[in-house]
């Protein structure tokens, strides 16, 4: 069993990832921590609580950062055209005041849970890296206690999706992402290089909804607006970025990885760009020197991955 804390900004593709984590038999979801990103922190937290209630998720939800890691840095506009005004495809998310929130801030929840389960917790981070960076700053010793950190974010050998250089989760708080990438813990980056290959069609999702339980039916409903957005890029289909990172936890054999130090550009034209120095390649002195090598995913068995996604989502 993999004990997982899911750090997320729900978010339509975040919702699918959450359901996959909840349903997969090898995952013990022990916490959900929220961050700003696809919407403001109040909205993403409300959405996490809503999904917790609808999907009867036992794991506690702890509210996280609403602002960036470095004080005073401005938050980017929220992508309402992708995830809707409510962050969940404009389904009209209802009031959730009856669903309790964990009293701890996300960074404290992460620190305490990791310390209580030394060597056992996988952090799966699919929003801004702000909560992880805040936790690292407050308790750097957690790097020796976390099992691994699996991140949906970045673009290694392909263009970004918010600028030619940068992917949204990393661009949204580049300084936080750089701090997480160079910390002495095991990071696996699941970037656009592979997530853009995990594409689910509207009809595939519809089939899952017909076969599956009420949870999948809700997932189908809240995904329609997101599919409409992606329709311009992938015919009548959507990219399930965040689910891709969750798959790495249970089925790493579906991925090809490359090892090397990963740094994030924190300012200028390339702000938010993830750049890996592959192990064994020689360069002059650079900011990559002396940092820990991390794994970046550069290939995926997309067919095998999609089969696993579908099998897991239709479980009851
Ligand atoms: C990432 O950005 C967010 O919009 C998605 O939820 C995903 O985590 C893709 O770039
Ligand atoms: Ca996300």
* Residue 33 near residue 121, CB atoms below 8 Å: no
From 168, 192, 240, 246, mutation site for ligand 1 pocket: most ligand atoms within 8 A of C-beta: 168
* Residue 128 near residue 169, CB atoms below 8 Å: yes
* Measured distance CA(229)–CA(238) in Å, rounded: 8
Which among 7, 9, 173, 178 is annotated as catalytic? 9
Which among 2, 24, 171, 241 is annotated as catalytic? 241
State if residue 13 touches ligand 1 by the CB under 6 angstroms criterion.
yes
- Domain 2-313 - what CATH class? alpha beta
Neighbours of 112 (CB within 10 A): 16
Question: pLDDT digit of tens for each residue in the chain (316 aa)?
Answer: 999 999 999 999 999 999 999 999 999 999 999 999 999 999 999 999 999 999 999 999 999 999 999 999 999 999 999 999 999 999 999 999 999 999 999 999 999 999 999 999 999 999 999 999 999 999 999 999 999 999 999 999 999 999 999 999 999 999 999 999 999 999 999 999 999 999 999 999 999 999 999 999 999 999 999 999 998 888 999 999 999 999 999 999 999 999 999 999 999 999 999 999 999 999 999 999 999 999 999 999 999 999 999 999 999 8
The domain spans of the chain are 2-313
């Amino acid at each position: 069993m993999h004990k997982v804390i899911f750090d997320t900004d729900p978010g339509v593709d975040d919702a699918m990832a959450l359901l996959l984590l909840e349903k997969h038999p090898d995952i013990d979801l022990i916490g959900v921590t929220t961050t700003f990103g696809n919407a403001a922190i109040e909205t993403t937290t409300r959405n996490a609580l809503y999904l917790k209630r609808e999907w009867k998720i036992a794991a506690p939800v702890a509210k996280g950062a609403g602002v960036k890691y470095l004080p005073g840095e401005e938050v980017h506009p929220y992508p309402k055209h992708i995830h809707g005004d409510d962050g969940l495809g404009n389904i009209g998310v209802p009031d959730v005041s009856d669903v309790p929130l964990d009293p701890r801030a996300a960074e404290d929840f992460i620190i305490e849970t990791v310390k209580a389960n030394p060597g056992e917790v996988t952090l799966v981070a699919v929003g801004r890296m702000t909560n992880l960076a805040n936790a690292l700053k407050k308790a750097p010793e957690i790097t020796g206690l976390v099992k691994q950190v699996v991140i949906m974010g970045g673009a290694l050998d392909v263009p970004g999706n918010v600028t030619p250089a940068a992917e949204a989760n990393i661009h949204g708080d580049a300084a936080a992402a750089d701090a997480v990438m160079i910390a002495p813990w095991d990071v696996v980056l699941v970037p656009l290089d592979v997530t853009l290959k995990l594409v689910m069609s509207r009809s595939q999702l519809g089939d899952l909804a017909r076969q599956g339980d009420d949870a999948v039916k809700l997932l189908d409903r809240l995904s329609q607006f997101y599919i409409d957005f992606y329709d311009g890029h992938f015919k009548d289909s959507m990219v399930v970025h965040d689910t891709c990172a969750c798959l790495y936890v249970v089925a790493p054999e579906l991925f090809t990885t490359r090892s090397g130090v990963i740094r994030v550009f924190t300012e200028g034209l390339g702000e938010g760009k993830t750049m890996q120095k592959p192990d064994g390649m020689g360069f002059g002195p650079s900011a990559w020197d002396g940092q820990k090598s991390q794994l970046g995913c550069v290939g995926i068995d997309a067919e095998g991955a999609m089969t696993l996604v579908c099998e897991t989502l239709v479980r009851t």
